[in-house]
Amino acid sequence: MISKNDIFKSVDTTIEEVKVPEWGGSIFIKTLSGTDRDLFEGACAKASENNNFKNIRAKLLVFSIVNEKGDKLFEEKDADKLGKKSSRVLDRLFTIAQKISGISKDDREEMEKN
């Protein structure tokens, strides 16, 4: 059996470097923490409730884009500004962030439905 301390010490997230030529370099996308996934799922539920999916891609990226140390680059309030970037770029990064965090299309549909 592993201990509580073993669990807390374990590194169970990944960080992937992603080239974004449109932005002039690379970014890092990190696996969502449980807390961040809950916040994102809450945003999806609220969006579904209001039938307003504005910036849903940007919201996931706010939780997923980090620096080389794994610290978030954005705050939740940055989603509106990030959402004004190219939809093609945001969609590509959104897909990568979903994959890294294990969010399937079925998961997303379930979040939106609930």
Q: What are the structural domains of the chain?
A: 16-113 (3.30.2220.20)
Residue 76 sits at the vertex; the CA angle it makes with 71 and 78, to the nearest 5 degrees, is: 95
CA distance 62 to 36: 10
pLDDT digits (tens, 9 = 90+) for 65-82: 999 999 999 999 999 999
Short-list 9, 7, 20, CA closest to 91: 20
CA distance 102 to 58: 17
Report pLDDT for 77.
94
Tokens of 69: 């140390």
Walking along the chain (114 residues) 10 residues at a time, the average pLDDT comes out as 95 95 97 94 85 87 96 95 97 96 71 54
Q: For position 89, what pLDDT does the model report?
A: 98
What pLDDT score was predicted for residue 106? 63
